[in-house]
Amino acid sequence: MNILILTNTFTPHVGGVARSVAAFVEEYRSRGHRVLVVAPEFPVMPENEVDVVRVPAIQNFNASDFSVALPLHVGLTDVIDDFEPDIVHSQHPFLLGMSALRIARYREIPLIFTHHTLYEQYTHYVPGDSPAMRQFAINLATRYANLCDEVFAPSESVQDLLLERGVTTPIAVVPTGVRLENFAHGDGRAVRAKMGIPEEAFVLGHLGRLAPEKNLVFLTRAAADFVGTHPDAHFLVVGTGPSEESMKTVFAKAGIKDRLHIAGTLQKQQLADALHAMDVFVFASQSETQGMVLTEAMAAGLPVVALDGSGVREVVKDGINGRLLMEESSEAFSSALQWLAALPPGDAHKLKQAAFDTAEAFSMQHSADKALACYEEVLSRMPPVPSEDPGDWDDVLVWVRTEWDILKSVAGAGDAALSASLSSDKED
């Protein structure tokens, strides 16, 4: 099968969508499928990429490591003609997502859309954020989904939400799978030594973008409450982002700044090593569509303490592979950590084994099986019949003029960079 994937973020960018796309591409290719990825240019891109087309992009958008694909892609049509795709898979409802829709409809081939992100959770970055802006983000993604032939929801929670919002296109639950072999082994002792964490310490761990939508103020305060009352406890954080300084401030005010360790962005074996330096993984985000970092942590044998939320409740089973908390309070979170830290060795081992078992259920092999089966099913019901009439393109494109504001939020702030670009685009 020839699979065309269009994504607004891809390697070397580090983020959930980029990692998801890369994982599926690797698995599809290992099974003999051809995959062509269309993605923005990034600084320091991998050399000699095979079947990857880079389109011009605004680099380091708003002082971030994010690249924003420009709307014109000279020569892309010829590349796609040569590739002869059987199916188009879009990872976003805007920018290259709109290109994906055009390509699929022009060639009369199916369009799949993965609803990776709850975009309304990011509008707080945009000046003038309002309920109307959040509703616009919901409507844009919903309308795009209804112009596709199949929607992939990363979790059952997201599937239920999309149905509530009026998505009538068939929905399949296809989480991003975890490559168990990538996290099974790690040198946690070396990481502890490098970060100045005692070998006998009880280490809370967290992985992800350090941003407000991840509920890190709450998480850091809860972690500080626990660490402050347990002299042998430390907090190891993997990631970077705008919330880093506020996290440091929480620990500094608690008088325990030396027990917060922020390792920055890590990948591959360094990431596995860091996970193996932890004793428990802590998580408080309620803006997730799937628990990808949770399954990665569990693949390293870590139990998880997390707040209930979409994408989380499908992974964390209370008392089985960790603790799933319904109450957002530092006291409840600290109490759950205390329960876990005090477990007898036998019970702690059962929790660790249950984490491994959960990761196995979310393996990349299982996820790719689901995705490829959906591709085959969609192809079998050709020609594609979109839920909405794609003929009202003018209306759709007017909507997408404001897509830049949403993308700004994902990148991390500001709105001036693209104002001139949008004005020029309208004049063209």
Q: Are residues 355 and 219 located together in one domain of the fold?
A: yes
Mean pLDDT in residue range 118-132: 58
Q: Can you tell me the distance from the alpha carbon of 275 to that of 112, in angstroms, rounded to the nearest whole number? A: 33
For residues 228 and 327, state if they share a domain.
yes
Residues 113, 87: contact at Cβ < 8 Å? Answer: no
Q: Are residues 348 and 384 in the same domain?
A: no
3-state SS, residue 138: helix
The pTM score is 0.77
Q: Which residue has the higher pLDDT, 75 or 281?
A: 281
355 and 376 inside one domain: no
Q: Are residues 133 and 224 in the same domain?
A: no
Domains contained in the chain, number: 2
pLDDT band at residue 63 using 50, 70 and 90 as cut-offs: very low
Residue 71, pLDDT above cutoff 80: no
419 — phi, psi (to 5°)?
A: -60, -45
Residue 62 has pLDDT above 50, yes or no: no
Q: Are residues 162 and 294 in the same domain?
A: no
Shared domain for 234 and 151, answered yes or no, is: no
Cis peptide before 71 (omega within 30 of 0): no
Which of 354, 229, 237 has its CA nearest to residue 299? 354
Domain end: 345, 362, 379, which one?
362
- Nearest alpha-carbon partner for 417 in 61, 51, 5: 61
Average pLDDT value for residue range 43-52: 82
Same domain, 306 and 378: no
Shared-domain flag, residues 167 and 271:
no
**Helical axes 292-299 vs 16-30, angle rounded to 10°:** 60
Q: Are residues 235 and 293 in the same domain?
A: yes
The closest alpha carbon to 330, from 244, 239, 241, 250, belongs to 250
CATH code assigned at 339: 3.40.50.2000
Check residue 207 and give its pLDDT.
Answer: 94
Which of 362, 394, 417 corresponds to the end of one domain? 362
* pLDDT tens-digit series, residues 315-349: 999 999 999 999 999 999 999 999 999 999 999 99
Model confidence at 396, pLDDT cuts 50, 70, 90, reads: low
Displacement of CA 235 from its chain's centroid (Å): 23
pLDDT (0 to 100) of residue 398: 53
Q: Are residues 128 and 160 in the same domain?
A: yes
Specify the DSSP class assigned to residue 7: -
For residues 388 and 245, what is the distance between their CA atoms, to the nearest angstrom? 46
Q: Say yes or no: 75 and 147 in one domain.
A: yes
Asked if residue 410 has pLDDT above 60, the reply is no
With a cut of 50, say whether residue 165 has pLDDT above it: yes
pLDDT of the residue at 122: 56
- What's the CA angle centered on 287, arms 285 and 288, to 5 degrees? 85
Q: What string of H, E and C letters represents the secondary structure of 34-73?
A: EEEEEEECCCCCCCCCCCEEEECEECCHHHCCCCEECCCC
172, 153 contact by CB (below 8 A): yes
Last residue of a domain, one of 362, 383, 403: 362
**Enclosing domain of residue 281:** 180-362
Tokens found for residue 151 = 């929607």
Contact 336, 305 (CB under 8 A): yes
